[in-house]
Amino acid sequence: MNCPCQFRSSKRLLFGVVGGLLIPVVVSPSLFGQDNYAEMQKIVADQSAPFATFGADAVIQGDVALIGMGNDGADLDLTGAAFVYRRQNGEWTLEQKLVASGLDEDSRFGTTVALDGDVAVIGAWSQGSVGAAYVFRRNPVSGLWIEEAELTPSSATTFSSFGAACDIDGDVILVGAVADDVDGVHSTGSAFVYGFDGNQWLEQQKLVASDRAEEDRFGAEVAIDGGVLAISAPWEDDPARSGSIYVFNHDGNQWTESQKLKANDGRPRDELGTSLDLEGNRLVSGAFHDDPSGDDSGSAYLFQFNGTDWVQGPRLVASDGQAGDIFGFSVALDGNLLVVGAPRADETGAAYVFEREATTWTERQKILPCDAASTAFTANAVGIHAGTVAVSSVGADASVGATYVYGPLAVSGVAPPVGPRFGGNRIVVSGEGFTSESRVFFDGTAARSVTCIDENTLEVVVPRLRLGMLERAMVVSRTVDVEVSQGCGVARMPASYTYLLGAGSP
């Protein structure tokens, strides 16, 4: 259960007692306190069965999350589904379950998903003999998501796995067909561009790699942002299965290949292009079989557009990476924040948050679900938008699957910052990421009561400070840390509350 309302502010006006006077104190979350990502909610699908793979893919945008489930679980039904969740008053609730019309029993609808505003794209790579992708649009009046189009390729071969990857940006959709036998060559792969003319979605162009070869798997991952498309070929053989990414630009008439990106230290079987995201002049891609910290420990590569070319930036690895972690299996980029999934780290899987400052990317936090199990495969899919992180775990809850939502947790102010040794007084703790599940501690002692006013404000009854006899006689005050815990996350504001022990203290 979350707080009944939301409120965000870069600064807070608090009041503290100093020398018997009530004075205003302004504190800024950016200057005080410590913040981290804490688990805010665990999202599970209603009526899903074991092996449902809820969370096969996930994307988050503003207050909307789209989560795919490529396997209904029950009776080995592989039809699949997708779920739209909306955040209201701080809580994510199911808005609608999406299932396309005419699906085969083994279509794998929901294995991949993409979202832009009120338009969702959902891949079904096993639908029919070729695969398909489905477009849903939210009706602004009814609020319902309505199936708008079924996309199928005009020239892909049988079993091309069309729909194994998809993305959308405005009126352009990009769909990968990773197993397409272009020119009769096995699994070279392709991708298809669709445009919306105001009435319908029309196929505009089929894209292939200029140096395509057998088993390249071009189209395994796709990304689009503005006038740039990125398409990965993780099995591209230069050297063998080192992987590559192809960048396409629009020249006003059509999409043309402009650059092929390779890791400058790539090795056979790294599989750069396993995951992919693109935002503005930055591109990130995972190489989950890379071996920086042992076999298959994994890495992620950043590329930057300098105005003329895409150039390789840093290669990111987990600070505690180990063999078999497959770091880089999933990636998501949002401004100066990047999330990288390592589904086999610590046996349960984990996600790593990196932050860019100036030109340096620094690992900020390792995220693990509070109830993660050894079969969870956590972070098989990740998403991030405006500070909210989604981490999927297809193996959670006996392989039913779940998606965990994380948000910044911070303590930025305590007012008034002083009170009697015996506690019982009410104070306000300010910060970010609070819910009705938040707990507050003073020097390790739990508050007598905590009331969540909104996500930025807690009203707290201070606990009694416990002291030894000698300490009572020798000190007149004691300043302690204030901590707020949320799920398995903790935010602390050091030396932020003072107990008065001497004269004037009850």
CATH label of the domain that carries residue 102: 2.130.10.130
Tens of pLDDT, residue by residue, the chain (506 residues):
445 332 222 333 333 333 333 333 333 333 223 458 899 999 998 766 677 889 999 999 999 999 999 887 555 568 899 999 999 888 899 999 999 999 998 899 999 999 999 999 999 999 999 999 999 999 999 999 999 999 999 999 999 999 999 999 999 999 999 999 999 999 999 999 999 999 999 999 999 999 999 999 999 999 999 999 999 999 998 778 999 999 999 998 999 999 999 999 999 999 999 999 999 999 999 999 999 999 999 999 999 999 999 999 999 999 999 999 999 999 999 999 999 999 999 999 999 999 999 889 999 999 999 887 777 899 999 999 998 999 999 988 877 899 999 999 999 999 999 999 999 999 999 999 998 889 999 999 999 999 999 989 999 999 999 876 556 666 788 999 999 999 888 999 999 999 998 644 44
Q: Which helix (H) or strand (E) holds 173?
A: strand 172-177
Residues 164, 131 contacting (CB under 8 angstroms): yes
pLDDT at 4: 35
First to last CA, the chain: 37
Same domain, 247 and 106: yes
pLDDT of residue 240: 87
DSSP letter, residue 75: G
417 domain-assigned = yes
The closest alpha carbon to 373, from 351, 390, 355, 396, belongs to 396
Domain co-membership, 349 together with 432: no
Using the structure block, give the residue that is written with the tokens 């990740």: 382
SS3 184: helix
The H-or-E segment that residue 285 falls in is strand 282-287
Is residue 31 within 8 Å of residue 465, measured between CB atoms? no
Closest CA to 109 of 139, 144, 135: 135
DSSP β-bridge partners for residue 378: 349, 393
**Of 359, 390, 409, at which residue does a domain stop?**
409
- Other residues' Cβ atoms within 10 Å of the Cβ of residue 471: 12
Question: What is the residue range of 419's domain?
Answer: 12-35+411-500
pTM of the model: 0.87
Q: Do 371 and 494 belong to one domain?
A: no
In terms of Cβ atoms closer than 10 Å to its own Cβ (0-12, 13-18, 19+), residue 469 is exposed
Together in a domain, 316 and 352: yes
- DSSP element (H, E) containing 356: strand 350-357
454 falls within a domain: yes
Domain boundary among 409, 435, 469: 409
Look up residue 69 and give its two tokens. Answer: 């489930």
Q: Do residues 371 and 230 share a domain?
A: yes
d(CA 31, CA 15): 18
Are the C-beta atoms of residues 67 and 42 closer than 8 Å to each other? no
Tell me, yes or no, whether 357 and 432 share the same domain. Answer: no
Rounded CA-CA distance 246/400 in Å is: 35
The domain boundary residue, chosen from 383, 409, 435: 409
Q: Is residue 335 part of a domain?
A: yes
CB 40 within 8 A of CB 486: yes
Residues 444 and 352 in one domain: no
With respect to residue 484, please indicate whether it lies within any of the assigned structural domains.
yes
Residue 5 within a domain: no
Number of domains in the chain: 2
Which pLDDT belongs to residue 5? 30
Tokens representing residue 332 in the block: 């998501």
The β-bridge partners of 95 are none
Q: What letter would DSSP give residue 200?
A: -
Among 133, 183, 190, which residue's Cα sits nearest to residue 160?
190
The total of other beta-carbon atoms located within 10 Å of residue 69's CB is 28
Nearest-angstrom CA–CA distance, 20 and 416:
11
